[in-house]
Amino acid sequence: MKALLAIMLAALAECTFLGMGVPVIPLFVVDNLHYGDAVVGIITGIQFITAMLFRFPSGRISDVKGPYFAMALGALSAVGAGMFYTGAGFYVLAPFLSASLLLMGSALLGISQSVFVTGAMTCAVSLVQAEKKENERLQNGKKSQGAGSAIAWIGMCVFGGLILGAPLGTYLFQQSGMIMTGIVIAALSVSIVAWCLKESALKERSEKKISDDVLAVPKESNFKALQGALALAWFPGFCFGLGAVCHGLVIAYGALLYAENNWSPLWLPFALFGFGLMIARSFLGHLPDLWGGARTALFAGILEAIGMGFVAFFPHFYLAGFGLFLSGFGFAFIFPAFVLITLSRGDDASRGVLIGVCNALGDGVRGIGIVLLGYLAIWGGFKVIFFSGSVLSLLGGLGGLLLFFIGRHQDMLLKRQR
């Protein structure tokens, strides 16, 4: 489908631009502003905080104003972030002012990622479900992709874009400095804003020709929308967070594990985990649609648990590397599986809110899990940390199975009432 491919390319491009800004902040803060790690942590941490806090608003914007509009707003936030980064480069001789501009830029970058990605996922799900309903109506026998595939593919583009953006941003910063890096991020994001606004206008003009599924618009207030989404998404989001802890552990402690064992290069844990994710989503992105969210979640949780177990109990370079790859392979299915479960519990008019709330809850559980498990290193080192990640991953997968039985029980009750 051409429209879906265009959204994937837009997500890949914009997330590449977003990824350019992530690695340059620590370099600029330490080398140019001469601040310490604490300031680096504050400026980089605000990006993740704003991304999490804007999950619900981003979903609401996508549902009410349309997913293309949400994508445009997200890209526009990236333009603002680039401008703040440029300003920080101009005021390098005033470190406090420069750091303050960086802080505002990072906050906008987090908002940008949250709003843009939620809009892209909502748009992709709307397109594939509209096509599926149209094919069912026409009975033409054409095979349609499902929501799980759409979410997996958009996620792959997001992840791939952030990976591509990091070395590009580092190279640009080293060659031209923060001013040019900010200008490039802002200028390139403008092109995505223009494309998204054009698509949004085209959608408005032709919306009468599109299925009612895409045109469903929520009527409730923001508070009721949040309340309803929390009721439907809290448990799937919690289980997603348990399954996502392994991802956070690799980011937080992967390099430290390699350093403790005198393994190199230190970036290899992230590369192996990411490679496993990309392989899984490239060749098996349709698995949630084929198996359903619950079975896929259990499968993913088992793979993650085995992978983390290898990392915890086999302190060997190749076996630990295999465990990291396997964990990334399993993690690839966790988010699509639980989002699919969440979407099946709600209505079409609330896709964006459900995706956003599920994502936000998962982010919160993952963040808390990383911090709490870090304290376990005092008693048992990295072995205890990664083993705990293995247990949590398995619990997340079992949570998906529990949701399956709950759903089946509710279906049986509805049949009896009829």
Q: What is the DSSP string of 153-170?
A: HHHHHHHHHHHHHHHHHH
- Whether residues 311 and 260 share a domain: the answer is yes
Contact (CB, 8 A) for 112 and 57:
no
- Whether residues 186 and 237 share a domain: the answer is no
CA dihedral over 265, 268, 270, 274, signed as positive or negative: positive
Pseudo-torsion of CA 316, 321, 327, 329, nearest 10°?
-150
Q: Which residues contact 150 (CB under 8 A, 6 or more apart)?
A: 4, 121, 124, 125, 127, 128
**Shortest CA distance to 41 belongs to which of 94, 103, 132, 124?**
103
Task: For residue 140, tell me if it sits in a domain.
Answer: yes
Task: For residue 407, tell me if it sits in a domain.
Answer: yes
Contact (CB, 8 A) for 307 and 323:
yes
- Whether residues 115 and 241 share a domain: the answer is no
Other beta carbons within 10 Å of 134: 15
- Whether residues 232 and 198 share a domain: the answer is no
Task: For residue 412, tell me if it sits in a domain.
Answer: yes
Please say which residue of 210, 241, 275 terminates a domain: 210
Can you give the pLDDT at residue 214?
45
- Whether residues 21 and 114 share a domain: the answer is yes
- Whether residues 272 and 359 share a domain: the answer is yes
Cα–Cα distance between 359 and 114 in angstroms, integer?
10
CA-to-CA dists, residue 85 to 25, 63, 80, 139, 304, angstroms: 9, 31, 9, 53, 38
Cα–Cα distance between 415 and 133 in angstroms, integer?
24
Can you give the pLDDT at residue 212?
47
Cα–Cα distance between 251 and 247 in angstroms, integer?
6
Cα–Cα distance between 370 and 54 in angstroms, integer?
21
Please say which residue of 210, 235, 258 terminates a domain: 210
Can you give the pLDDT at residue 231?
85
Would residue 325 be called left, alpha or beta, if left means φ above 0 and alpha means ψ between -120 and 50 degrees?
alpha
Domain count, the chain: 2
Can you give the pLDDT at residue 396?
95
Cα–Cα distance between 394 and 301 in angstroms, integer?
5
Can you give the pLDDT at residue 213?
47
**Shortest CA distance to 63 belongs to which of 137, 17, 131, 122?**
122
Residue type, 236: P
- Peptide linkage before 26 cis (omega within 30 of 0): no
CATH number of the domain to which 41 belongs: 1.20.1250.20
Cα–Cα distance between 383 and 329 in angstroms, integer?
21
pTM score of the predicted model: 0.80
**Shortest CA distance to 390 belongs to which of 333, 320, 327?**
327
**Shortest CA distance to 341 belongs to which of 298, 306, 307, 302?**
298
- Whether residues 189 and 236 share a domain: the answer is no
Cα–Cα distance between 334 and 318 in angstroms, integer?
25
DSSP 8-state code for residue 93: T
**Shortest CA distance to 38 belongs to which of 103, 108, 113, 114?**
103
- Whether residues 191 and 263 share a domain: the answer is no
Cα–Cα distance between 310 and 365 in angstroms, integer?
23
Task: For residue 204, tell me if it sits in a domain.
Answer: yes
- Whether residues 298 and 344 share a domain: the answer is yes
Phi then psi for residue 93, to 5 deg, are -80, -5
Q: Cα 180 vs. chain centroid, distance in angstroms?
A: 27
User: In terms of residue numbers, what domain contains 409?
Assistant: 222-417
Per-residue pLDDT of the chain (418 residues; tens, 9 = 90+): 688 899 999 999 999 999 898 888 888 888 899 988 778 878 877 887 888 888 888 888 988 888 999 999 999 999 999 999 999 999 999 999 999 999 999 999 999 999 999 999 999 888 887 777 766 666 665 665 677 788 888 988 988 888 888 889 888 998 999 999 999 999 999 999 999 999 888 776 665 554 444 445 555 666 677 788 888 889 999 999 999 999 888 887 888 888 889 998 887 888 899 899 989 988 998 898 889 889 999 999 999 999 999 999 998 999 999 999 999 999 999 999 999 999 888 777 777 888 888 888 888 888 888 878 877 777 778 899 999 999 999 999 999 889 888 767 665 665 666 5
Task: For residue 284, tell me if it sits in a domain.
Answer: yes
Contact (CB, 8 A) for 211 and 364:
no
- Whether residues 203 and 226 share a domain: the answer is no
In the numeric block, which tokens belong to residue 297? 């979640």
Please say which residue of 181, 210, 239 terminates a domain: 210
Contact (CB, 8 A) for 253 and 388:
no
Task: For residue 50, tell me if it sits in a domain.
Answer: yes
**Helix (H) and strand (E) counts in the chain:** 14, 0
Can you give the pLDDT at residue 242?
95
Cα–Cα distance between 233 and 396 in angstroms, integer?
14
Cα–Cα distance between 306 and 98 in angstroms, integer?
46
Other beta carbons within 10 Å of 214: 19
Q: Which residues contact 301 (CB under 8 A, 6 or more apart)?
A: 243, 330, 334, 393, 394, 395, 396, 397, 398, 400
Task: For residue 217, tell me if it sits in a domain.
Answer: no
- Whether residues 348 and 201 share a domain: the answer is no
CA dihedral over 334, 361, 13, 249, signed as positive or negative: negative
- Whether residues 258 and 278 share a domain: the answer is yes
